[in-house]
Amino acid sequence: MEPVKRKHPRLKQYDYSQPGCYCITIHTERDRPLLSSVGRGLAPAGAELRLLPAGELCRQELFALETRFTGVKIDKYVIMPTHVHILLILTGDAAGASPRPTIPEIIGAYKSLVTRRWNCSQHSTGQKLFQTSFYETVLRNEKAYLEAWQYIEDNPQKWVENRR
């Protein structure tokens, strides 16, 4: 039996260290609902999102990226039960002679750190928290940015509506 050939998810010839805005989506392994719970909120069209312990680790490490990597800004995010959406901005700032980090390096470090802390909290080693890769969209203009921002904003409510 031949191994499954995966399609490379990144754009060919694109420099993922260049300044810009990126919409990132990271899924849990086998889409397990380990990160948060979403229920009806008090507002008529509201949704209440509560982070589970793994989701809290995701939140903490997400903001640690801004200090870990020079030139990284988290503009908007949501931690859903099975995935995390992030609007991440690379400003182009570099730390001295260090090269600018790439999106795959940043997300790889993020997933690794969250997984390591989660495994520690579960008293286990080597358990996968996230799927192998991640999805990204390069937001090339203000319209794309605003659409991604609104998508992240609306995601908890859509989760509730889709589970009625």
pLDDT along the chain (164 residues), means of 10: 57 79 96 92 71 97 93 95 96 70 94 96 91 93 96 92 74
Q: Is the pTM of this model over 0.85?
A: yes
| Residue spans per domain, the chain | 20-162
Burial level of 5, CB count in 10 A (0-12/13-18/19+)?
exposed
The predicted pLDDT at position 101 comes to 87
- Which CATH architecture does the domain made up of 20-162 adopt? 2-Layer Sandwich (3.30)
Give the containing element (helix H, strand E) for 88. Answer: strand 83-90
53-68 vs 103-121: helix crossing angle, rounded to 10:
140
3-state secondary structure of 70: coil
